[in-house]
Structure 1
Amino acid sequence: MTTFMVMVVMAAIPAAGYAVGPRYDIVELPTIGVAPNLPRSINNHGVIVGELSLPSGRQGYVFEAGQLRELDRLPNKSDSVAYDVNDLGQIVGSSGDRAVIWEPGQPARALFDTVPPAEAIAINDQGVVTGREDNAFVFTPPSTLRRIGTLGGSYSVASDINNLGEVVGVTRDSSQSDRAFTWNTAQGFRNIGTADIYSSANAVNDRSQVAGVSTGGSEQAFVWEAATGMRNLGRPLWAGGVPTGINNRGVIVGSSLGGTFIWQRGWEMQDLNALLPEGSNWDLVTANAINDAGQIVGTAFNDAGNLVAYLMTPQSLIPEPEVIAHTDFAEPSPGARTFTPSAAQRELGFATTVIDNGGQLPMAGVANNTAIPPSQHFVVQSVNSTTTFADVDLTSWQSVRVSLIMNVKLATYEAGDFIRAFVTDGTNTIDLVNLEGANTANDPLERRSNHLFITYSADIPDEWTHARLVVATSSSAAAGAERFEIDNVVFGGIAIPEPSTSSLALISVAFVGIARVACRGRDGWHGWLNPPVPCPEQALHSRKPWSHHSRTSLD
């Protein structure tokens, strides 16, 4: 009897390729009657906690397995609020003026007795709780309460705690200025704020990445790491952004006066509304938390125009984007108009041509940034200029996005003044931003001025094999020093997997030590299996098999 074995190994090629950032499905969370629902946290099992605004007062709840359940209150207390839930299902919040915990299957229990009002804000998977009474506290079960104090000022408030026991929040220093902080038992307080009006650390993940906000006339989101310090994330176009959550992939969500945003290194800041399904009429108002699966909770106006709570879930998990090329203008020397990186340097090179038109205080080049946080950036003031960045090879990348952050300084911009940033492959161009002056109080340039750094970006077609960024400016400078500040230029995308046997859709057939492969070559089909599959060299013709512009076909 002849025996044989057939083995089929195919690559998992999606029906539709990757967009720049995952698309999300959105569902409305239930409530009681018409009570407003404010979701505050979601754990890695999809359990959501928050509060309902009932006629009888604030009511904490948990939403799990498709069911909303009200949380009980402490005796003689008129309300309850649930702020956080860990992966063990322990919930913390407040009831009346007491910090409370709800253990699975147990009624509300006060964490400790205290004279001032107290709230439990966050809990990690070890059951360690942080929150505030007069100042921030850390509670370690079963009964150890530690009041962590301040940086010399009048108060502190804790916002989050990670599984390393690191606490983040805001405290006043000895000058009574509000400063973002981190704290742990070994090192105590660490001031991570800057010399601005206000800074606050709002969330921390298990990689010790901190998301927060600084202000200096306008809110500016940041991410902080011990090794690199504070990084300016820019801000959404419509208004200042306040980060509210960060997961262990480093993905940040937040809210502003005009909408919601998501930030991820490589793709940088994006409007969350733009990632909803096509044709959606939802209008997101807040994004309050994100878990490691990328699920997001917040509030929004639904299709009917009602303000409701929502749960957003990525339609598919995709690889994390990577930084392909970037510059924060940290490596060039101050004043540099041209930069060619050495072998040891990592930032993107650039070259600038300048025409001095006799304007006030003309300059073009790398300069110190006094905004938030302090750093070097590229400045163009009262001159005509073109800055061309080095060419970026994209042959190994897909779903590529290029972005920068830019501050248009307050000035009077006349007709003929402009700034344009665009990306080109030498034949085609795509604008990131194109603003012109008109000598009116509401022209496009003046509308963007005095709002600190705004994020501008463009998605690059997957057919492009290379791209370069160009920034062009013109300034008549007849009415003062017209100034553009540019920072954080980033090309980011998803690396194309290396071809392998499993990704070439090979079918191997073994007959007692004899193997044959059926495939379609340039001169027709070879082998005898039905249906046949492409030969390896044929399958490799698609440069970007998982892109949303082109993908390998198996038929």
Structure 2
Amino acid sequence: MGETVGDWRPYRWTPGIGFVRLLGICCGTAWGADINNAGVVVGRAQTAVDEEARAFVAVTDVMVDLGLLPGASPELAGSDALAINDAGQIVGWANTAANPPARHAVLWSAAHVIHDLGTLGGPASTAVDINASGQVIGMSDVPAGGHRGFLWTSGAGMQDLVTLLGYPAGSVVAINDVGQIAGSYVAPGGDTHAFLYTPGSGLRDLGTLGGTTSTATGLNSQGDVVGSSTTAQGDTHAFLWTSTDGMEDVTVKTGFTAVRKLNHDLQTLSGGVFGAFPPAPSAFLVTLQVTLTWPFTGFAPPIDAAPAFNAAHAGHDVTLRFGLGGDRGLDIFGPGFPSSTEVSCATGAAIGSATPLSPTDFELTYQAGPDRYTLRWATDDVWVHTCRELRLHFMDGSTYVALFSFR
């Protein structure tokens, strides 16, 4: 999207080619909203001086008017295309034939036939995204006032997301091809938090960057989420959330304070938003990098990390407790780990090769309350008067060692 003589015009940008202006606009402003993997762009443009702006699709470099709902007045009614999937299905909103016109969520088929998706009983609705299966998400007014997030399918129609989330969705921004939904909701404490909904698992509160509120602005095929969050200092920063590392501060790492949309390569957009104030004419494609190292909290007392030796009784269980900055599941060790190696009691140098612990040699549990893993290691009677190393190598690539002197 670029700016020419005070008016905004839609562009298609491709690596190696750059910006190509889309043609077919009459006057006023136009802007692109989404692009699929085939390079098809959708958005909104004005096609005649005496008509409202309408949704468009551009397969080539020429914008094509997607039209209005049946019976709607060309002079009074408008429409907007907000998302497109790889099958060419498009969603957004269009004004109805009512007077005054109401705004309804709509779906255009790949043949550009428009369908009214209705509302949750209120006067207005808007569809914001569609996945490969044709599942649509958006927001709708409700009879009691206010608005709720919805999921629309061809079989079940429009459903209030409260039935899936357990809470009303205050906003929804994206749905991926496995049915995960990103948005925001009012958490039990009363603050607005970003969420990720996963079919079969339910709603997951994504937390904050130390502040009170957060909102999601993008979701990719892996279930990674971008958005914004307040910090403990009260500033608003952009974030990237992943299931492995949780929420990371994008602003601290990149300087960008707001990002939106996210692809499978962890590329996101910043700047260049139509209607932003103050104006931000420059758009940026930002590639994010995930720090995969889990925040190991150290071994809890009475266990000390190497090079110190811990006294233990041969043939008795040894218990180690530690944290990894959240629940990483129980499949946290790399192949061949944990492992045990006999070492010199004087120097800690290895004697012989490491032996991976078998499933019967240890037990691993996790407690959410204290955010703590507990590893119980079954030792052998024959280790009396010897020393051994217990090595933990995690799936994030980090390694931690504890040394034991058996009596």
TM-score normalised per structure 1: 0.49
CA deviations on 1:21-75 (whole Å, 9 max, x unpaired) are xxxxxxxxxxxxxxxxxxxxxxxxxxxxxx3344431222222123432432434
Alignment of 1:205-354 (within 5 A): 205-215=176-186, 218-238=191-211, 240-256=213-229, 258-274=236-252, 276=253, 282-299=254-271, 308-314=282-288
- Please report how far the alpha carbon of residue 290 of structure 1 lies from its aligned counterpart in structure 2 after TM superposition: 0.9
Measure, in 2, the Cα distance between the counterparts of 1:494 and 1:308: 44
State the Cα deviation string for residues 508-538 of structure 1 (Å, max 9, x = none): xxxxxxxxxxxxxx9xxxxxxxxxxxxx947
Cα 1:60–1:75 change in 2 (3 A) is closer
**Paired residue for 2:294?**
400
CA contact (8 A) 2:300 2:320 kept: yes
Residue 87 of structure 1 aligns to a residue whose secondary structure is coil
Q: In the superposition, relative to structure 1, how do residues 54 and 227 fare at CA in structure 2: closer, same or farther (>3 Å)? A: same
Superposition deviation, residue 244 in structure 1? 1.2
The 1-side partners of 2:330 and 2:260 are apart by 26
**Alpha-carbon RMSD:** 3.9
Matched residue type, 1:235: T
Aligned to 2:374: none
Contact persistence 2:161–2:169 (CA under 8 A): no
Match of 1:142 in 2: 111
Q: Which amino acid aligns with 1:247?
A: N
Measured in 1, the distance between the counterparts of 2:177 and 2:152 equals 14
CA contact (8 A) 1:59 1:70 kept: no
Partner Cα distance (1:260, 1:492) in 2: 27
Deviation at 1:78, TM superposition (A): 2.2
Distance 1:242 1:90 in 2: 28
Which structure 2 residues correspond to residues 110-259 of structure 1 after superposition, within 5 A? 110-113=65-68, 115=74, 116-133=77-94, 134-193=103-162, 199-215=170-186, 218-238=191-211, 240-256=213-229, 258-259=236-237
User: How far apart, in 1, do the equivalents of 2:288 and 2:6 lie?
Assistant: 36
Match among 9, 12, 17 for residue 59 of structure 1 = 9
How far off its partner does 1:273 sit? 3.3
Amino acid at match of 1:205: N
Matched residues in 2 for 1:107 and 1:138: separation? 21
Other structure's SS at 2:126 match: strand
For 1:108 and 1:59, how far apart are their aligned partners in 2? Answer: 11
Checking the alignment, whether the CA contact within 8 Å between 1:266 and 1:493 is kept in structure 2 is: no
Aligned residue number for residue 393 of structure 2? 544
2-structure distance, mates of 1:176, 1:268: 34
**Identical counterparts, % of pairs:** 23
Q: Give yes or no for contact 1:153–1:174 (8 Å, CA) kept in 2.
A: yes
* CA distance 1:308–1:107, change in 2 (3 Å): closer
- How far has the Cα of 1:245 moved from its partner? 1.1
Residue by residue, what CA displacement relative to the aligned partner does 1:325-380 show, whole Å, maximum 9, x if unpaired?
Answer: xxxxxxxxxxxxxxxxxxxxxxxxxxxxxxxxxxxxxxxxxxxxxxxxxxxxxxxx
Aligned amino acid, residue 63 of structure 1: W
Kept in 2, the 8 Å contact 1:74–1:109? The answer is: yes
CA distance in 2, matches of 1:215, 1:60: 35
Superposition deviation, residue 208 in structure 1: 0.4
Aligned residue for 2:10, secondary structure, equals strand
Counterparts of residues 458-497 of structure 1 (less than 5 Å): 466-468=320-322, 490-491=327-328, 495-497=332-334
Q: What SS is found at the alignment partner of 1:148?
A: strand
Query: Residues 164 and 546 of structure 1: is their aligned pair in 2 closer, same or farther, counting only changes over 3 Å?
Result: closer
The CA distance in 2 between the partners of 1:209 and 1:238, in whole Å, is 25
- Answer yes or no: is the 8 Å Cα contact 1:244–1:287 preserved in 2: yes
Corresponding residue SS for 1:273: helix
Deviation by residue 1:423-466 (Cα, 9 ceiling, x = unmatched): 7522699xxxxxxxxxxxxxxxxxxxxxxxxxxxxxxxxxxx95
Instruction: Give the TM-score normalised by structure 2.
Output: 0.65
1:64 aligned partner, one-letter code: T
Instruction: Indicate how the Cα distance of structure 1 residues 546 and 150 shifts in structure 2: closer, same or farther if over 3 A, else same.
Output: closer
CA spacing shift, 1:307–1:256, aligned 2, 3 Å:
farther
Q: Deviations over 1:72-109 (max 9, x none)?
A: 24342322211111111111111121101111x34111
What is the CA–CA distance in structure 2 between the aligned matches of 1:269 and 1:189, rounded to whole Å? Answer: 31
Contact conserved, 1:100 with 1:119, CA < 8 A, in 2? yes
What residue number does 2:382 align with? none
Question: Does the 8 Å contact 2:22/2:61 carry over to 1?
Answer: no
What amino acid does structure 2 have at the position aligned with 1:154?
P
SS in 2 for 1:292: coil
What is the CA distance between 1:196 and its match in structure 2? 7.2
Residues 1:100 and 1:547: Cα distance change in structure 2 (over 3 Å): closer
Change (3 A) 1:71 1:255: farther
Give the CA deviation at 1:141. 2.0
Matched-pair contact (CA < 8 Å) for 1:74–1:108: yes
Q: 1:261·1:271 contact (CA, 8 Å) conserved in 2?
A: yes
SS state at 1:152 partner: coil
Determine if contact 1:56/1:78 at 8 Å carries over to the other structure.
Answer: no
Code of the residue aligned with 2:88 in structure 1: it is: G
